[in-house]
Amino acid sequence: MPALPAPHSYHNHSTWSDGTRSITEMVAAAAASGLAEFGISDHYVLVPHQPNNSSEWSMPLAQLDEYAADVQAAARDEITVRLGIEADFFPETWPELGERLSGIPFDYLIGSVHYADAFPIDCSPTYWAPLNQDEVDQVYRLYWIRIRQLAECGLFDFVGHLDLPKKFGYYPAADLSLERNAALDAIAAADLAVELNTAGWDKPCAECYPSPALLRDVQRREIPVLISADAHAPANVAAHYPRAAELLWDVGCRETVRFQQRKRIAVPLTQV
Other Cβ atoms within 10 Å of 233 Cβ, number = 16
pLDDT tens for residues 187-202? 999 999 999 999 999 9
Q: Which of 165, 205, 207, 162 is nearest to 183 (CA)?
A: 162
How many Å separate Cα 262 from the centre of its chain? 15
Mean pLDDT of 84-109: 97
Q: Which of 174, 179, 241, 238 is nearest to 214 (CA)?
A: 179
Look at the pTM and tell me if it is higher than 0.85: yes
pLDDT of 263 > 80? The answer is yes
Nearest Cα to Cα of residue 41 among 101, 99, 90, 86: 86
The per-residue pLDDT for range 111-157, each reduced to its tens digit, is: 999 999 999 999 999 999 999 999 999 999 999 999 999 999 999 99
- Residue 49's pLDDT band, with cuts at 50, 70 and 90, is confident
The mean pLDDT value of the chain amounts to: 95
- At residue 271 the predicted structure's pLDDT band, cuts being 50, 70 and 90, is low
Task: Output the pLDDT for position 5.
Answer: 66
Asked if pLDDT for residue 272 goes beyond 70, the answer is no
> What's the average model confidence in pLDDT over 45-58?
80
How confident is residue 1, by pLDDT bands cut at 50, 70 and 90? low
Task: Residue 60: count other Cβ atoms within 10 Å of its Cβ.
Answer: 12
Superfamily of domain 2-271: Metal-dependent hydrolases (3.20.20.140)
The confidence score (pLDDT) of residue 86 equals 98
Give every CB contact of residue 92 below 8 A, 6+ residues apart in sequence.
Answer: 48
201: exposed, middle or buried (Cβ count in 10 Å: 0-12, 13-18, 19+) = middle
Q: What percent of the chain has pLDDT over 70?
A: 96
Q: Is 25 exposed, middle or buried (0-12, 13-18, 19+ CB in 10 A)?
A: middle
How far is the first Cα of the chain from the last one, in angstroms, to the nearest whole number? Answer: 5
